[in-house]
């Protein structure tokens, strides 16, 4: 019982910090940076889609997709294994599609401005994380969804790898987003030398608070995923099958 209270408190904290991060990054691009607003015209307003969509997709949806099995298991709902997979798959697939639009936005912005692509450390870390995410999605569909390829033993190995690589990719996305925000705050916010030491522009407060919300979101998701007592109950270690609530009771 105490475990369940801690679990649901962590989930609530994850939702609050994750949604706050989404609102703050929307506020940053929509109202506070150098050229606020959203438009698909190749200006900074096109770039503004990038942080917003990446955070919705690769932070909020990916994090929620990762904990979905544990949330389903903890609620004790009579959800079949196939439905749990569908929910997890929908979160991860929609994240990939939304993030692809977010990535296209920054390339379109660079192309319109005649700027070089892939110039900063954030770009290299970000594209690596994005590629690994695409690979994880492909392998997930091939081996863990339908149709199933390979033997039961191979799929069990893939599953173990999938769980650890999924956690790693989530951490990489948090790192990418923090690096991206640092870069944006140098480019898109008025510079510190223009302000008296006691004055913090609103954009600075919002972008820095956004980073703290990301850290809190990461901490709660990691605490949920790394704690074996919150894990979905499998029939045996590394088995693809879960003990459903009906079997347990
Ligand atoms: C969370 C996942 C994210 C990923 C995977 C990611 C990935 C990328 C990639 C691959 C690029 C290079 C695009 C190009 O060179 O045309 C890029 C550019 C950029 N990203 Fe992100 N990004 C993420 C989040 C963010 C966030 C949250 C921010 C800011 C708040 C941000 C700010 C930037 C900036 C400022 C650039 C452009 C750099 C420049 O103009 O040279 N990114 N991002
Ligand atoms: C890039 C996309 C994906 C990411 C980042 C991802 C990430 C993860 C993570 C972090 C876990 C561990 C969850 C936990 O410990 O409770 C997991 C488990 C799992 N994922 Fe994915 N996943 C992705 C796509 C898919 C797809 C497309 C499928 C196929 C439907 C899939 C099937 C599974 C299964 C069967 C589990 C095991 C759940 C269990 O513990 O029983 N994943 N995934």
Q: What is the pLDDT of residues 4-48, one digit of tens each?
A: 999 999 999 999 999 999 999 999 999 998 899 999 999 999 999
Ligand 2 mean position to 228 CA, how many Å? 16
Helix (H, G, I), strand (E, B) or coil at 242: strand
Task: Evaluate: CB of 119 within 6 angstroms of ligand 1.
Answer: yes
Q: How many residues does the chain have?
A: 249
Task: Evaluate: CB of 218 within 6 angstroms of ligand 1.
Answer: no
- Which residue from 116, 112, 117, 115 is spatially nearest to 42, judged by alpha carbons? 112
Q: In terms of C-beta distances under 8 Å and separation of at least 24 residues, what long-range contacts does 39-47 make, across chains too? A: 40/105, 40/108, 41/112, 42/108, 42/109, 42/111, 42/112, 42/113, 43/109, 43/112, 44/109, 44/188, 46/105, 46/108, 46/109, 46/112, 47/105, 47/106, 47/109
How many whole angstroms separate alpha carbon 249 and alpha carbon 243? 10
How high is the pLDDT of residue 248?
31
148, part of any domain: no
145, part of any domain: no
Q: Whose CA is nearest to atom 25 of ligand 2?
A: 140
Ligand 2 mean position to 98 CA, how many Å? 18
Q: How many domains does the chain have?
A: 1
CB atoms within 10 A of CB 43: 15
Q: Whose CA is nearest to atom 10 of ligand 2?
A: 166
123, part of any domain: no
- Domain of residue 205 covers 2-115+181-248
Task: Evaluate: CB of 108 within 6 angstroms of ligand 1.
Answer: no
126, part of any domain: no
Whether pTM > 0.85 for this model: the answer is yes
How high is the pLDDT of residue 8?
97
Regions of the chain with pLDDT less than 50: 235-238, 242-249
38, part of any domain: yes
Distance of CA 140 to the CA centre of its chain: 17
225, part of any domain: yes
124, part of any domain: no
Q: What is the CATH number of the domain that holds 224?
A: 1.20.120
How many whole angstroms separate alpha carbon 7 and alpha carbon 1? 10
How high is the pLDDT of residue 2?
81
141, part of any domain: no
């Amino acid at each position: 019982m105490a475990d369940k209270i801690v679990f649901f408190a962590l989930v609530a904290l994850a939702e609050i910090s994750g949604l706050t991060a989404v609102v703050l990054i929307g506020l940053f691009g929509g109202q506070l940076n150098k050229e606020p607003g959203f438009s698909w015209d190749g200006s900074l307003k096109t770039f503004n889609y990038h942080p917003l969509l990446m955070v919705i997709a690769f932070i909020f949806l990916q994090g929620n997709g990762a904990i979905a099995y544990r949330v389903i298991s903890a609620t004790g709902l009579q959800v079949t294994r196939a439905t749990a997979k569908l929910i997890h798959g929908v979160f991860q697939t929609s994240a990939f599609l939304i993030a692809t639009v977010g990535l296209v936005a920054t390339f379109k912005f660079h192309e319109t401005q005649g700027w070089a692509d892939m110039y900063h450390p954030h770009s290299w870390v970000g594209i690596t994380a994005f590629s690994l995410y695409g690979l994880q999605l492909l392998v997930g569909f091939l081996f863990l969804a339908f149709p199933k390829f390979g033997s039961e033993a191979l799929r069990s190995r893939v599953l173990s790898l999938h769980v650890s690589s999924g956690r790693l990719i989530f951490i990489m996305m948090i790192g990418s987003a923090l690096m991206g925000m640092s870069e944006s705050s140098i480019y898109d916010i008025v510079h510190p030398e223009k302000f008296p030491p006691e004055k913090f522009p609103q954009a600075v407060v919002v972008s820095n608070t956004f980073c703290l919300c990301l850290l809190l979101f990461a901490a709660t998701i990691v605490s949920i995923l790394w704690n074996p007592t919150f894990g979905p109950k499998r029939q045996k270690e590394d088995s693809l099958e879960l003990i459903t609530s009906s079997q347990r009771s």
